[in-house]
Structure formats: structure tokens, C-alpha cells
Amino acid sequence: MRVAMYYNNSDVRVEELPTPKIGPGELLVKIEASGICGSDVMEWYRIHKAPLVLGHEIAGTIVEVGDGVTQYKIGDRIAAAHHVPCDQCHYCLTDNETACNTLRSTSFDPGGFAEYLRMPAINVKRGVFLIPDNVSFDEATFVEPLACVLRGQRKATFKEGQSVLVLGCGMAGLLHVHLAHAMGASKVIATDIVDYRLDAAKRLGASDVINANDFAPERLRELNDGRLADLVIVCTGVPAVFQQSLKLVERGGTILIFALTRDDVSLSIPINEFFSRNEVTLTTSYAGSPDDYQQALDLIATHRVDVKNIITHRLSMEEARQGFALVAKAEDCLKVIIEPQR
């Protein structure tokens, strides 16, 4: 089978690998669509593991069913989670499934940028979701990233009527904008340095957009009835933005860290200032739980979150290098999807 083998952001090669053999409890899935995630082009994070087949935002068709699998059949259209929890440990039992050790050790074989992948038994048991007839494969690639965004806003205890500031309008930031708007935020304000992405944020529900090069707390107050933001979501790995977020959150508000940055970056928190400003919460979020995946799929199926118009590029396997270059450049694209069967 053909795969897009990642060596670095500018070196993605179409190569041949054996089609995986499945065992009991497993599935063989023909990949119809697989989205390129922003994390896929973080060279500092990926390159020491290269060469490898990436791709975790997948949608496809079941073509082979292992012994013992009764809940799925050949021909079923599915989305799936590459990381799944054990459902039995301390973390899973306290609603912290994404801190589960099992979740951090599970994955696909090989990855979504391939014609076929093997779904391990634990993923079949806890991470497969049937795609409704009214949802396309391309739309279903958003189930994984939207699940992560849903969990982030839930961990940040977002409530209807709150104001939201999204710092960074990459794919994750745009989904945060869209979801917060759909869930009833009083205002959603977004920043970025790329006008193309700011225009997209406006289309997806941002009440105001600001070029990050011209942004200051005073500007936020002007747009938010004299107040800072109830929820600040950091969706860029630029170190200065993490520090900036501390000055943008309202009393009683929350900062959600939703981006990776370099390992050597630390955040200096003014403890006394935070104490005197009354109960500011700083939290993080990673991945999504099975419940988050199902809720994400439901939101897409009911068009409460409309992802169709976020897709800007649909590329073949042979065009995967171009796709990675587009996402790495992060200027004139939103969602880039690889369709391996083209």
C-alpha cells in the first residue's frame, strides 16, 4: 500500500509498505480522508522520530473485521481515536481520561496518511465512531480536533454568556472560536498575525478580530465593555503570548493553555497580582475522551458546528508534501486534507 512517509516538513515521500495484517478484535480500515494537524508540522517535536507515517484525524471504511468484533461490520463508515483511555485507572475514574497512561501509549498502525491502517483492539473497543449518512468523510476528519477543543473548553468551565479571547487562529484556534460562538459566548475576540486567518475567524463567529502585532489589554477592554476576557485560550506556541495571556484575563476568569511550545519555555506567574485580582484559574488540556469524540461527531452531524467551509485543500497522497508545506507555512490555508484513495 502507499503511504506518505514523513522525514521533515519539506521531505514527505510516497513510499510502499505492506498492508497491515489484523488480529482478533482488530479492524482494517481503508482511509478515505485524513487531516493534517498543526502538531504534524512541529519539526522539533516530530523529526527525532522520523521517518514515520503521521495522520491521526482520520475517516474511512471498514474493509476487514477481526475475530470477536461484533459491533462493527465491513462497509461501516467510521471516525476513530488514535489515543484511547483504559477506563479503569484513577485518572479515568476521576474524569481525567487524557491523563491516563494507556491513552498516551495507544495509536494507529501505521497512521492516517496511508491507504489502509490497522485499528488495534483497544482502539476498536473504546475509540471507533460510526459516521452518520449526512456527514462526509472530509467533515468526519474534524471529529478528533473538535473533541480536543470540546474537552479544553469543558476543563476551562466555559459557560454561556462569558466573553472569550482566542490567541492564535490556526486550526485549533478557529475551532475554539467557532465552538465558543456556537455555545453562546457573549463575545468571541480573536487575534493572529495573518489576515487570512483573522478573516476566517470572523466568518466562524468572532465578534471582533485583532492583528496580534497591534494588540494590548486596552484594546480588549474597548471591545468588551471595559472588561478583560472571562476565558483566554492560548492557541499559539509563541512564548511571549503565554506571558501576555496573564494580563488579559478578567477577575474570576480562566486561562486555557491549548498549545505546545519549546521544552525550555517557562511561564513566570505574578502570584500576588493573581491573588489580589481574585481567583484566576490557569489550566491546560490535552486530547479528548471517547465522550468528547461522540459529542464532537454529534455537533458536526447537526451542523451546530459547521466544518465544511473550513476545508481549503483536498489533496492526493502524491500531493502530501505540498500539504505539509502549506500547513507549515500557516498563511493561505485552513484545513488541509489528504485523500489517500484519489
The answer on 136 and 10 residing in a single domain is yes
The answer on 307 and 207 residing in a single domain is no
Given 238, 262, 284, the domain boundary residue is 284
Given 284, 305, 321, the domain boundary residue is 284
Range of the domain at 123: 2-147+287-338
The answer on 233 and 107 residing in a single domain is no
Cell output for 154: 469543558
Domain count, the chain: 2
| Cis before 110? omega within 30 | yes
The answer on 296 and 275 residing in a single domain is no
Given 240, 255, 284, the domain boundary residue is 284
The answer on 280 and 233 residing in a single domain is yes
Distances (CA, A) of 32 to 79, 80, 120, 149: 10, 12, 19, 23
Quote the pLDDT of residue 275: 72
Does residue 31 sit within a domain?
Answer: yes
Does residue 267 sit within a domain?
Answer: yes
Residues 299-333 pLDDT 10s: 999 999 999 999 999 999 999 999 999 999 988 99
| Confidence check: pLDDT of 276 > 80 | no
Element (H, E) at 325: helix 320-329
Give the CATH number, domain containing residue 162: 3.40.50.720
The answer on 70 and 140 residing in a single domain is yes
Does residue 259 sit within a domain?
Answer: yes
Quote the pLDDT of residue 74: 98
Residues 152-210 pLDDT 10s: 999 999 999 999 999 999 999 999 999 999 999 999 999 999 999 999 999 999 999 99
Bridge partners of 57, per DSSP, are: 35
The pTM (predicted TM-score) of the whole model is 0.96
The answer on 278 and 180 residing in a single domain is yes
Quote the pLDDT of residue 190: 98
Residues 228-257 pLDDT 10s: 999 999 999 999 999 999 999 999 999 999
Does residue 226 sit within a domain?
Answer: yes
| Confidence check: pLDDT of 122 > 80 | yes
| Residue 219 CB contacts under 8 Å (≥ 6 apart), including other chains | 210
d(CA 233, CA 259): 9
Residue closest to 188 by CA, chosen among 199, 177, 204, 197: 177
Quote the pLDDT of residue 277: 62
Does residue 134 sit within a domain?
Answer: yes
The answer on 133 and 12 residing in a single domain is yes
Give the CATH number, domain containing residue 310: 3.90.180.10
List phi, psi (to 5°) of 233.
-115, 115
d(CA 202, CA 179): 13
The answer on 69 and 10 residing in a single domain is yes
d(CA 306, CA 28): 29
The answer on 221 and 121 residing in a single domain is no
| Residue 266 CB contacts under 8 Å (≥ 6 apart), including other chains | none
Does residue 152 sit within a domain?
Answer: no
The answer on 85 and 6 residing in a single domain is yes
Residue 185 contacts residue 162 (beta carbons within 8 Å):
yes
The answer on 185 and 131 residing in a single domain is no
Quote the pLDDT of residue 305: 97
